[in-house]
Structure 1
Amino acid sequence: MNDDDRTFGIEEEFFVVDREGHLSQSGNTVVDSAEEAQGELQHELTRTQVESATGICRTSDEALGQLKALRAELSEAAARRGCHLLPCGSPLLVETSFPRITPDPRYQRIAEHFGATARTTSTCGCHIHIAIPDRETGVRLITRVRRWLPALLTLTANSAISDGADTGYSSWRYQQWTRWPSAGPPPEFTSLDHYESIVDAWLRAGAILDRQMVYWDVRLSEGQPTVEFRFSDVAATPEEAVLLGILIRGLVTTILDDGPAAPLSNEVLRAHLWRASREGLSGRCPHPRTGDLTPARAVIGDVVDFAAAALESTGDLDFVRDGCARLFESGNGADRQRAKFSERKSPEDVVEMLIH
């Protein structure tokens, strides 16, 4: 697959909140009343959430234009109901009741089967789809990209404040999300059959109800010829979401051309992801090559350098370097949440900063 053929798409999940910043149960009606821009608007598991998905994108400008339009349409639809769109990985305020489940037969089955995990794991992520020529290539990519996930997680971490308090994590969403039995880092696969054997075992055990519930941080998409990266919090801004998508595309091209990486056990990778979710962009992160704790900004710089040739070939290198420079100066979403919260210890101030 040529670099020009490696298309991508971005999905974003958002909370819908009322005027005070508390979760609203209006997500479904917001989606149903929106005038869909290019891309798709979708219901989510709970009524407090909405989801958008771009169409197939080839350039950063194309993706950014679609994300801005989709966010604007959802925001306007929410405003007509006295609500706001909140791009945040976890709920910011203390809630007195659980979100209600969307009245969809599949979602109702999930809620009944998984109980409190489904009712209390209310999080919003950003999913990056990267085109692949076939599923065998996808499995090979998943195995090779695993060690790079902690570094990428630091870039868009956006859930430091949750339930009215500083969680001590940059991506508290990642900690919440991995309570699902099929979530977390994927293993090192030896083949497509290996991948499929695990999915089949999960289905037989009832750990997932269908193949769409394969929640690994990177997985094969069931409905599209893509590999889907699912580890990230929803980005605070569309620019940051596109930065993540473009960097992942460059990294995918480089990794597939670079050859196999040294083995990395899931036990060690989970520890690396925990550290990345805790400290984010402002702390230290295990380096993808050595595992040594390294300032996260330096690690991201090394990731960009590693993918530089692929990024240059698609005209994206300056876009990625400029975007990273802005994040290094202003901090990621979690850093900005924490800075705003520290002023008055007010989660409502963080809501005001983030809402659309």
Structure 2
Amino acid sequence: MTFTIRDQPTLGVEEEYFLTAAGSRAVADGASRIAPGATAALGERFSCELMECQVEAKTPPCSTLRQAHGHLTAMREAVARAAGAQGLRIHASGTPVLGSLGSARLRDDPRYLAAHATFRARTEAAVISASHVHVQVPGREEAVLVGNHLRPWLPALVALSANSPFWAERDTGYASWRTMAAHALPVFGPPPYFTSLDHYHQVVAGLREAEAVVDEGMLFWDVRPCSHLPTVEIRVMDAVADAEVLAVLAVLVRALVVTALAQVNRGDAGPQLPEPVLATAYWRAARDGLGGHGVEVHSGRLLLAHRLVAELVRAVRPVLREYGEFEQVCQVLRRWCRQGGGAGLQRAAYGRRGDLRDVVDILCACTTGAATDTAGPADGRDRDRAARRPAVTPTGPR
């Protein structure tokens, strides 16, 4: 099947939320308790997760940015209502802000118990939440080869979605500690470079033989062919509290996939990047987020993170223009970059009083659309520096 830009594949978003106690704001078990109410509202689009303090919701297939934003907003409201009925709140963040991670309780589910038996104490690193974007593709071969073309852009998506500076009730110094925690487990991070679907199957068979994965659904690479849907799944991003930003990131991911599909159709198997450079780009994106620098993986050069975001938008501009999304994407990303992304929002909330409960409150409010104050960094010098950084504009980098 030959794919063209005009085919405009559908996309879907899966996102994970932490449950928090309304009083203490600490992460709290309760997934099994809120499941009946959330399932009544969302059906199969709601599910429990690895830990009892996490749940997941999924949009239906969406064609437009507006549809994606609308479904994200509606499903968050539904899950929040179910949680509220049990004295809990939800928030989207890559890592918990308050609460003891050692007390996180694994769900009594055979599949998750098998994962714990395999990874043992390392499952503590799985107390993390992410945003996953599915994009429709013609077949599994295309899904595998698309990953080769997406690998150079994955660090930029880490920076754009970075929303996990706090871990175990302290500031880690990273914008996305979820990225660092996840890499403690096997088959996380960027996928290997695959030459074909057969090559993918050979690698997966070896991983299963080594008992590094429980099943194909636990191949946690940041790009993978979906095992049960005709999609490629991009799993690199932190859970994002701002629904409009997440919808924009979803259509940005779709534009990357459409651009990659065109390259695959031309017989281009994708660039073979030096793995140490890609790993360094991941680390730098996780550390700095939108507030510093990132690595341009083709040259190894250090560039302002905002510049790398602008280069990403420029690379997919024809697709975004074709789908009528370019101006809105630029407008939202410009606001997001100036704010410092999710990590900037969290640190700004903490900086006002030095109280992590304020961080949880702003995350809960943003997740459910109730936030009115989403100002950027609390420190005036940080705001000045942010204002001087390049921003994405409808005409490209400024």
- TM class, shorter-chain normalised? over 0.9
Structure 2 residue matching 1:115: 3-state secondary structure: helix
Note if contact 2:69-2:243 (Cα within 8 Å) is conserved in structure 1: yes
Correspondence 1:8 to 2:11 = yes
Q: Following superposition of structure 1 onto structure 2, how do residues 1-356 of structure 1 map, counting pairs within 5 Å? A: 1-3=3-5, 4-19=7-22, 20-34=24-38, 35-37=40-42, 40-95=45-100, 97-258=102-263, 259-355=268-364, 356=368
> Among the aligned pairs, what percent are the same residue?
34
Note if contact 1:38-1:70 (Cα within 8 Å) is conserved in structure 2: no
Displacement of 1:291 in angstroms is 2.5
Q: Aligned AA for 1:322? A: Q
Structure 2 distance, partners of 1:96, 1:6, is 39
In the TM superposition, structure 1's runs of 4+ consecutive aligned residues that sit over 6 Å from their partners are none
Structure 1 distance, partners of 2:248, 2:162, is 13
Q: Aligned AA for 1:306? A: A
Structure 2 residue matching 1:114: 3-state secondary structure: helix
Q: Aligned AA for 2:148? A: T
Of 261-270 and 305-314, more deviation after overlay is shown by 261-270
Displacement of 1:338 in angstroms is 1.2
Distance 1:118 1:265, change over 3 A: same
Displacement of 1:110 in angstroms is 1.4
Q: Aligned AA for 2:28? A: S
Note if contact 2:280-2:295 (Cα within 8 Å) is conserved in structure 1: no
Note if contact 1:132-1:225 (Cα within 8 Å) is conserved in structure 2: yes
Please tell me the root mean square deviation across aligned C-alpha atoms, in Å.
Answer: 1.5
Q: Aligned AA for 1:21? A: R
Distance 1:104 1:292, change over 3 A: same
Q: Aligned AA for 1:300? A: V
Q: Structure 1: which 5+ runs fail to align?
A: none
Note if contact 1:75-1:85 (Cα within 8 Å) is conserved in structure 2: yes
Q: Aligned AA for 1:45? A: L
Displacement of 1:299 in angstroms is 1.1
Note if contact 1:140-1:191 (Cα within 8 Å) is conserved in structure 2: yes
Displacement of 1:288 in angstroms is 4.4
Structure 1 residue matching 2:56: 3-state secondary structure: strand
Structure 2 distance, partners of 1:251, 1:62, is 19
Note if contact 1:147-1:269 (Cα within 8 Å) is conserved in structure 2: yes
Q: Aligned AA for 1:301? A: A
Q: Structure 2: which 5+ runs fail to align?
A: 369-398
Structure 1 distance, partners of 2:101, 2:138, is 47
Structure 1 distance, partners of 2:250, 2:136, is 12
Structure 1 distance, partners of 2:42, 2:99, is 33
Distance 1:196 1:49, change over 3 A: same
Structure 2 distance, partners of 1:277, 1:130, is 24
Structure 1 residue matching 2:93: 3-state secondary structure: coil
Distance 1:2 1:121, change over 3 A: same
Of 294-303 and 281-290, more deviation after overlay is shown by 281-290
Structure 2 residue matching 1:42: 3-state secondary structure: strand
Note if contact 2:281-2:297 (Cα within 8 Å) is conserved in structure 1: no
Q: Aligned AA for 1:236? A: A
Structure 1 distance, partners of 2:33, 2:125, is 21
TM-score scaled by structure 2?
Answer: 0.86
Displacement of 1:267 in angstroms is 2.5
Note if contact 2:144-2:196 (Cα within 8 Å) is conserved in structure 1: yes
